[in-house]
Structure formats: C-alpha cells, structure tokens
A and B are shown apart, each in its own frame.
Chain A
Amino acid sequence: MKSVYDNEMKLEFLSKSNNEAFARITVAAFASQLDPTIEELADIKTAVSEAVTNAIIHGYEDAEGIVKVTARIFANTIEVEISDTGKGIENIDLARKPLYTTKANLERSGMGFTIMESFMDEVQIESVLGLGTKIKMKKMIKKIPLNEEMQELARQYRRQIS
C-alpha cells in the first residue's frame, strides 16, 4: 500500500528516562531529511523531549509502559505523534496553561506544553482519563518569506488550481 506521506517512521520503547535522549535524537535525525536549520532542529528536539518526558513521568508515573512515537513527512512539514496508554489528563485546557503542573514537588516548572506550542506550528492534545494521551505536533520547515515575484506566481498558481 502506498502511503500518502513522503516518509514515515515508528518507534516504541519502555517508559524509562534514559530513552528521552534516544527518542529526540532519532526524531531529529529523521527530520534532518527536510534540511532544517539548526534552530528548527533544536525546536523539534525540545518539543519531542517534552512530550516523551510527560508520557514517562505523568502518563505512567512509577509504572512501566510503552511510549509510541510516529513521525511523518509530507512536503516540507514534519508531523510527530507521541502517545502513552497511561493515566490520561483530567483537564486539558488547564494542563496547557503556562506554569500549571501537578508535580510541583518534583521541581517541574509546568512549561512543557508552553514550550511545545511555541516551538511547533501546531499542537493537538487528545486524552482520556484512564486510557492515555496522544500529542500530535506539526512543524513546517523553512518558511522562507517569498519576494513579490514569487508571491505573484503563487497567486497565479492558486487561481489555476482552484
């Protein structure tokens, strides 16, 4: 079956904290085929690290479970999905708020979702209490600003295909 994506990869690993580096480095290596800038690559790494860490420390807490990471490339966009089958998020709107954390005693700062949202173009959170959490993030690589001539070409092209 042919995928609608240009490329796709999947990772599954135990919810151990020493897999955090493994996950973000692997996704960054996969993303590098889009030829991102150093800054874009750092943004992706950080966002993945946040979501994977959340799955490990909040999703599974002290229990052991499987964290799944899927990354897909379509044109110049990378999409990363990170999911756990842990305890789920009670209130998603609250969880997204800067500084909100349910683990302040463990020196968490409550900035994870805020970082994901500012480093990626889009962050979706799906979560069901007792069933788990899935984070879907997208980032477009190289949003080069178009000059006048290119903008006109893009307008003509859009008119043609619509």
Chain B
Amino acid sequence: MEVNYEKEKKTLNIEITEEIDHHYADKLRRKIDNEITRYMPRKTIFDFNRVSFMDSAGIGMIIGRYKMMKLIGGDLEIKNANESVNKILEMSGIKKIIKIA
C-alpha cells in the first residue's frame, strides 16, 4: 500500500498494491484506518491499478471505509479497477453508492 496526501485538496490517495482477499483485507483495513484518522481527509481515493484480484472481502473493506469517510463528512472514490474487480464492484451494488472513476 502506498500513501500520498495532497494537503491543499485535503485528498488522501491510497494505492493498493496487493490482492484483496480475507487475509490481506484485515491488514489493509487497519493500515487505511490509521491514515484516515491521521489526515482526516475530505476525500479518499483508492487506486486499484495494481490490484489483480479481489473477492467479497474487498467489498466489506470498501463499504467499511466508505462509512468511515461519511462519518467524518468526507467521501470515497475508487479508480483504475480492472475488469474482474469491476465485475465484483458491480455485483455488490458498490457502484451505486461510490464513485468509480
């Protein structure tokens, strides 16, 4: 996971670099929550460019972070999801509530 915070835009960019399954989601969740509480961003963007695999554990992780961002009055966006990740995002209904760029 690689993190970059844009101070002026209050935007937290998180590039996820591993396959998101139950094993990794547990670690990822803790790391991301740390960053969110540290910066209190207005917007968090997950870059999925390097995510080659995601299962339902990813859905739970994304919805959890979405709720957290809403709680602090911010927003969550996802970008660069590949085709198979997209299929899961679509099936889960995430696409209806979260902006996918």
Contact = CB atoms under 8 A, between A and B. Distances in A.
Real complex partners, A and B?
Answer: yes
Interface of A: 17-18, 20-21, 24, 39, 42-43, 45-46, 49-50, 53, 56-57, 106-109, 111-112, 114-115, 118
B65 to A, nearest CB: 10
Chain B: number of interface residues, binned into ranges: 20 to 34
A41 to B, nearest CB: 9
Contacts of A39: 83-84
B19 A107 contact: no
Interface stretch (B3-11, B37-45, B56-64): B56-64
A109 B22 contact: no
A22 B92 CA distance: 25
27 contacts: A17-B23, A20-B22, A20-B23, A21-B23, A39-B83, A39-B84, A42-B83, A42-B84, A43-B84, A45-B53, A46-B55, A46-B84, A49-B21, A53-B22, A53-B56, A57-B22, A106-B60, A107-B25, A107-B60, A107-B64, A108-B57, A109-B56, A109-B92, A111-B59, A111-B91, A114-B91, A115-B88
A53 B21 contact: yes
Contact of B60 (A20, A50, A109, A114): A109
Name A's interface SS.
helix
A49 B23 CA distance: 11
A49 B84 CA distance: 14
Interface in B65-92: 83-84, 88, 91-92
Interface of B: 19, 21-23, 25-26, 29, 53, 55-57, 59-61, 63-64, 83-84, 88, 91-92
Contact of A21 (B21, B60, B83, B92): B21
B88 A46 contact: yes
Contacts of A43: 84
B56 A21 contact: no
Nearest to B21: A20
B13 to A, nearest CB: 22
B94 to A, nearest CB: 9
A84 B19 CA distance: 24
A20 B61 CA distance: 17
